[in-house]
Amino acid sequence: MIELLRKFRIGTVVLAVAVALAAALTVLPARWLLWLMPSDAPITVVEASGTLWSGTAWIALGSPQSRRMLTEPVQWRWNGASVDVRHPYLRGPVKLSFGLGGVSVSAQQATLPAAVLAGMGTPWNTMSPGGQIDVQWRAFTPGTLAQGTLADIYWRNASAAMAPIAPIGDYHVRLEGSGRNIKITLSTDKGALQLTGQGEWTGRRLNFQGRAKASDKASDTEQAALTGLLTAIGPERDDGHAFGTGKL
């Protein structure tokens, strides 16, 4: 009998806490997100309105020194144990589901202007990139990455202010699960500028090495037009101009 009463009290407390949290979500201001997000994160909230239950937020991408704010706010609304996130760049809502195993993110696709890359710092901020970025990812749970392809990122009709020719090419970045890490592969689908690279995200650090050079199929005029851009991308090596993290 005593054990039954003890379990009843614990259940009552848990239920009361759950009800209190649900009630708090409906009234707590969305601006609390500004303090919850790390100031040095590559994605951060710069302004928010509404409540934690249903609201909108303006998102900025990039390092603190070169952030670029998205042109439209992100919208969210809770629906039971999940929250639906919407943005004009998304093909449809992204569902974040919360359970004992953590947070799961639904599969989705997004299309955004390549200009947002300028917020990622050097060399993007000097390139003034143009074109279209298409992203598609599979459902995943952060911290328990599945093996195989996680996401594909396509930069189509790419251009750069420092190159007098446009487009300079189409490019593909693939993210693959590899244990607890994410393998990154950069390749060129077509174009006068050839970009290649390999890297890995360990959860705390990005290690990436890339090379840029004029394609063997590029004309003399195209090769000359790419000279300034290649110099801005990085130092010249035997296999092209180097860019990435760490020692190049």
Is residue 5, in this structure, part of any structural domain at all?
no
Structure tokens at 167: 């487009």
User: Are 71 and 115 part of one and the same domain?
Assistant: no
User: Are 51 and 122 part of one and the same domain?
Assistant: no
Cα–Cα distance for residue pair 29/228, rounded to 1 Å: 48
User: Are 141 and 174 part of one and the same domain?
Assistant: yes
Single residue among 38, 71, 99 that ends a domain in this structure? 99
Single residue among 99, 119, 140 that ends a domain in this structure? 99
Cα–Cα distance for residue pair 129/58, rounded to 1 Å: 22
* DSSP three-state, residue 86: strand
User: Are 113 and 233 part of one and the same domain?
Assistant: yes
Q: What is the pLDDT of residue 41?
A: 65
Element (H, E) at 221: helix 220-225
Decide if 83 contacts 120 (C-beta within 8 A).
no
User: Are 121 and 179 part of one and the same domain?
Assistant: yes
The pTM assigned to this predicted structure is 0.80
Distance from first CA to last CA of the chain, Å, rounded? 70
Is residue 14, in this structure, part of any structural domain at all?
no
Domain housing 204? 107-247
Element (H, E) at 70: none
The count of domains in the chain is 2
Cα–Cα distance for residue pair 184/34, rounded to 1 Å: 30
* DSSP three-state, residue 185: strand
Single residue among 66, 99, 132 that ends a domain in this structure? 99
User: Are 130 and 81 part of one and the same domain?
Assistant: no
Q: Find the angle CA(242)-CA(243)-CA(248) to the nearest 5 degrees.
A: 65
Cα–Cα distance for residue pair 32/47, rounded to 1 Å: 10
Is residue 121, in this structure, part of any structural domain at all?
yes
What lies within 8 Å, CB to CB, of 151 at 6+ separation is 135, 136, 137, 138, 174, 175
User: Are 90 and 115 part of one and the same domain?
Assistant: no
pLDDT in tens, the chain (248 residues): 444 434 434 443 333 334 334 444 444 456 656 555 666 666 788 888 888 888 998 888 776 666 778 889 999 999 888 999 999 999 999 999 988 778 899 999 999 999 888 877 667 777 889 999 999 999 988 777 778 899 999 999 999 998 999 999 999 999 998 777 899 999 999 999 999 999 998 877 888 999 999 999 999 999 999 999 999 999 999 999 999 886 55
